[in-house]
Structure 1
């Protein structure tokens, strides 16, 4: 599939806009049939560059909407320990090394 880049559209005030039709399968999720976003420039070269960047961003958003929400993976960096246990160990190490501020040391009990 060939991906054609959307060209910027010049508005009546001379400012360029990114205008793109929303894919049919995403109209219900997005709630509109087309995007029209100001590129905030009157320079055609800047408009072409910004239009390309915006097009890539919108295509990524469309792909993410098609896939749906994904769970965030939990990485156990503590080698089998629970996150709370790691935090307690860190505070205990800091308390032993006297690196905690005085107020924090009073609240942490070994």
Structure 2
């Protein structure tokens, strides 16, 4: 990375790193949510509970991988003086989170 462009103002690199760490916290929260669903929503059917838990864990893993990719692309753009890369991932993650929440709410309210 150091061979890309010129060394930027360190504040921009540190801001990029803080954003990366925020995405990692989001990934960890999704992983923890998946574990919580599997462990504590025992009144839900096993298959449904496991599917939601796996979905959350997979989203957490995807979020972590995406965080690294975005950090690298942003750092490269900063060093080159290019426009920052655009990402649809925050919107996709938000929609996925809302859909998962609605699934869980529906399952909790559905009479067993």
TM more than 0.5? no
Look at both structures and tell me which one has the larger radius of gyration over its CA atoms.
Answer: 1
Question: What TM-score, normalized by structure 2, do the two folds share?
Answer: 0.34
Say which structure, 1 or 2, has more relative contact order (CA 8 Å, 6+ apart): 2
> Higher helix fraction: Structure 1 or Structure 2?
2
Question: What TM-score, normalized by structure 1, do the two folds share?
Answer: 0.34
